[in-house]
Structures are given as structure tokens and as C-alpha cells.
């Protein structure tokens, strides 16, 4: 549940929002405490970005931080944190049931004199619970989305037990929180919502237009997200094909990598729009991409509260997004156009609407930027986590 009355109510009152009224004083309360952030994956994704952002933010307010990643990872998080004074530790997660991981985590906690452990997602949530419990340390779990925890009975039991021994779980959106409550049959108050926040992407040069050979009159629709089926990019390509006749200057650029790239290229060719579809791969210049775009589209089939959407809001772009996760609560009634997921025709109509009416597009973009600044700046996220950390440390 968000503090603003425009956000929709939660089911059954099971999920509570982290209080923010005394969050700034909580930052003072945790100053000097050593906090470990732990995640089971190490590639460019929303959860990984939040881990890196949290660790960097904690260092900036006087909390020495260490990030624990899989030894078999890509090294992406370490690259993001280069020069930040955040320590990186690697542990072995093979087998997902190995006691070796618990021993390695215990050694990390001792070596860095950790005061509190913050685990992200299922595997580290479970391993982190037992490692922190053995070390006598308070533990926080954040779930960013997805339902891996619910696909097997033993996973539901493991996650429910981890939540119990950790004193609750954090969800990044009320939708994610409600799903956790239902899947795990959690008692009221067991889930706390701390919405994701972002630091506005540095506004870069719009050089991608030249890179793609676009004319000044061409209109660029941007989507940011890894090329996975759940991101719904094929519906965006279908939507582009629908608007192509009436809007021959519209192009789509997708920033992200993943296994769906061959299928997307094949679909674009089959639709006769390959020359208008630009798969950019992984990009670190998101600010420049946003500066070059005329609109932002999130075509996902499932999300919690995606960071890419929040960055697009900060950029002031008009947004079209699917009704998944917390998207409707964030954008409606006047900060973007929300359409049903897996509906190419609705996506096409919304994109055409923005292209036809530049005044409406500008109004939606300005409203999105104001809302992002008010509700979704990373400083608020950091303050809310600081309040939770202070609470758990005091309880210890």
C-alpha cells in the first residue's frame, strides 16, 4: 500500500507500507552499522540494480556495505560498484542445498563484522535466513517479483519458514505483497511494502538516433528490458506493425539482452518491419536512450514495480504500459496510458494516440515526471529501508 490516496487498496489488509515519517532519523540510527546485501544472480536486471543502488546508498550515509553474489556470476554488480568502497564477496550456490554456502556466508559475516543481513529473492532469502540465524544476526528478505517460490511445495515451505524466522518479508509493490501473502498463507502484517525507487538517469546525448540512422522526423518508441518472453516484446512488434501504415515514421528500439532475440528478429522480418525494429542489446547509456526517444512502452506480461518504468517517468516521456503489477497504481489517472497485457491492438491504439496528439503526450510526460519526483526517488526507498534496518537492529 502506498501512502498516497490515489493508489489502490490492498487485499484483506495483509500488506503494510513501511512508515516514512521518521525515516531520516533512522538513517542516523544505522550510521556505522555494517550491512550485507545478498543476491543469487549477478547480471543486469532490476533486482540486481536495486542491490547495487542500496549498497552504494548505504555507504553514502555511513554504513559500510558488502554485496554477496554467486561465485559463478557474471561480475556485473562488481562492475557497477567499482570505486564505491562497497566490498564484493562471492559464494558457491551450486546444488541450491549445499551446506558449503552456509559456511561461506558465516565466514563473510565474521570477516566483515556484519550487523545485519539483507537477502534478495528466493535462494538467498532461504540461505540467508539460516546463515544469519546461526550468526545471531537480524535478517531482512526482499522479494522483487515472480513466483519461483510457489512452483513446488518444498519451496513454499522453505520460503514460509524463512519469512517466519526473519520476522516478515519486504515486497517491492503491493501486488507482489498480495501474491506472497496468498502463496505462502502469511499472517496479516507479515509483508511490508517498500516501493522501488531510482536515481534519475543522467541525461545523456541523444546520439542513438544517429547510430540508428534516424531522420529528424522519425519517431522513436523505446522499451527497456531483457529479452525474455515475460517482457512481452513480441506484442510491441505486433503493435508496431499495426500502426505502420498510419505512422510510417515510427521506429521501435529495445534495450536489453536475452534468449528471445532470434525470435524477435524473425517476427519483425515476418511482419515486414525489420527496418523499423532496433534491438540494441545491453546498454548502460539509458539516459541517452531516453533523451532520444519520443515515447516509452512497457509491454510486460508480469512485473512488480519495474525500475525502467520509473526512469522513464523521471525523463518526462509519455508512457504506454501494460496493466501488470503496480503499473496502474503508479500511472493512473493522468501519468500514462495503461492497456491490458498481451493485447497488441490496445498497445497499437495507445501508441497511435500519443503520435497523433503531441499536446497530450507532453501533458502525460510532465505528470509522470512530477509523480516520479514526489513518490519514487531512491532517497525515499533508502530512508524506508533504513527505518526497517533500525527496527530490526533494535529488536536484536
Task: Write out pLDDT tens, residues 332-387.
Answer: 999 999 999 999 999 999 999 999 999 999 999 999 999 999 999 999 999 999 99
CA atoms within 13 A on the CB side of 186: 34
Domains of the chain with bracketed CATH: 11-197+377-395 (3.40.50.2000), 208-375 (3.40.50.2000)
**Mean pLDDT value of segment 169-187:** 93
Task: Write out pLDDT tens, residues 94-122.
Answer: 665 577 889 999 999 999 999 999 999 99
Task: Say if residue 307's pLDDT is above 80.
Answer: yes
Q: 256, 231 in Cβ contact below 8 A?
A: yes
**pLDDT confidence of residue 147:** 80
**Mean pLDDT value of segment 285-303:** 95
**pLDDT confidence of residue 149:** 83
| Mean pLDDT estimate for the chain | 91
Tell me which residue of 141, 176, 136, 137 sits closest to 158, measured CA to CA: 141
**Mean pLDDT value of segment 37-62:** 95
**Mean pLDDT value of segment 324-335:** 93
Quick one: pLDDT band at residue 150, thresholds 50, 70, 90? Answer: confident
**Mean pLDDT value of segment 25-51:** 94
Task: Say if residue 15's pLDDT is above 70.
Answer: no
Task: Say if residue 1's pLDDT is above 50.
Answer: no
**pLDDT confidence of residue 325:** 86
Task: Write out pLDDT tens, residues 204-221.
Answer: 777 899 999 999 999 999
Is residue 198 classed exposed, middle or buried when 0-12, 13-18 and 19+ CB atoms within 10 A define those classes?
buried
φ and ψ at residue 311, rounded to 5 degrees: -65, -40
**pLDDT confidence of residue 8:** 36
Percent of all residues in the chain with a pLDDT value above 70, rounded to a whole number: 93
> Among 51-65, 147-161, 199-213, 334-348, which is the least confidently predicted range?
199-213
Amino acid at each position: 500500500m502506498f501512502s498516497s490516496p490515489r493508489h489502490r487498496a490492498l487485499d484483506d489488509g495483509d500488506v503494510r507500507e513501511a512508515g516514512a515519517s521518521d525515516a531520516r532519523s533512522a538513517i542516523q540510527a544505522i550510521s556505522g552499522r555494517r550491512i550485507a546485501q545478498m543476491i543469487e544472480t549477478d547480471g543486469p536486471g532490476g533486482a540486481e540494480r536495486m542491490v547495487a543502488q542500496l549498497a552504494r546508498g548505504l555507504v553514502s550515509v555511513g554504513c559500510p556495505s558488502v554485496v554477496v553474489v554467486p561465485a559463478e556470476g557474471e561480475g556485473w554488480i562488481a562492475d557497477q560498484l567499482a570505486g564505491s568502497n562497497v566490498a564484493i564477496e562471492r559464494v558457491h550456490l551450486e546444488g541450491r542445498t549445499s551446506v558449503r554456502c552456509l559456511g561461506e556466508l558465516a565466514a563473510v559475516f565474521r570477516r566483515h563484522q556484519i550487523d545485519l543481513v539483507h537477502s534478495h529473492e528466493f535462494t538467498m532469502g532461504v540461505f540467508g535466513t539460516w546463515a544469519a540465524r546461526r550468526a545471531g544476526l537480524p535478517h531482512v528478505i526482499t522479494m522483487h517479483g515472480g513466483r519461483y517460490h510457489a512452483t513446488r511445495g518444498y519451496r513454499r515451505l522453505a520460503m514460509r519458514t524463512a519469512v517466519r524466522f526473519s520476522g516478515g518479508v519486504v515486497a517491492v509493490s503491493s501486488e507482489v505483497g498480495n501474491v506472497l501473502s496468498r502463496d505462502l498463507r502469511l499472517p496479516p502484517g507479515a509483508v511490508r511494502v517498500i516501493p522501488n525507487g531510482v536515481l534519475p538517469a543522467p541525461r545523456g546525448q541523444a546520439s542513438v538516433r544517429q547510430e540508428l540512422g534516424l531522420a529528424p522526423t522519425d519517431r522513436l518508441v523505446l522499451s527497456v528490458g531483457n529479452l525474455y518472453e515475460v517482457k512481452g516484446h513480441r506484442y510491441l512488434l505486433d503493435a508496431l506493425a499495426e500502426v505502420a501504415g498510419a505512422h510510417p515514421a515510427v521506429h521501435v528500439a529495445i534495450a536489453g539482452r536475452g534468449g528471445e532475440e532470434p525470435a524477435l528478429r524473425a517476427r519483425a522480418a515476418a511482419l515486414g518491419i525489420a527496418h523499423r525494429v532496433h534491438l540494441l542489446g545491453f546498454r548502460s547509456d539509458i539516459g541517452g536512450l531516453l533523451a532520444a526517444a519520443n515515447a516509452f512502452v512497457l509491454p510486460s506480461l508480469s512485473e512488480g514495480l519495474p525500475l525502467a518504468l520509473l526512469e522513464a517517468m523521471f525523463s518526462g516521456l509519455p508512457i504506454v504500459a501494460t496493466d501488470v503489477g503496480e503499473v496502474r497504481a503508479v500511472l493512473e489517472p493522468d501519468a500514462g496510458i495503461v492497456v491490458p497485457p498481451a493485447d497488441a491492438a490496445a498497445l497499437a491504439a495507445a501508441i497511435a494516440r500519443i503520435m497523433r496528439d503531441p499536446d497530450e503526450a507532453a501533458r502525460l510526460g510532465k505528470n509522470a515526471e512530477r509523480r516520479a519526483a514526489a513518490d519514487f526517488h531512491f532517497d525515499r526507498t533508502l530512508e524506508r529501508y533504513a527505518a526497517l534496518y533500525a527496527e530490526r537492529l533494535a529488536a536484536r
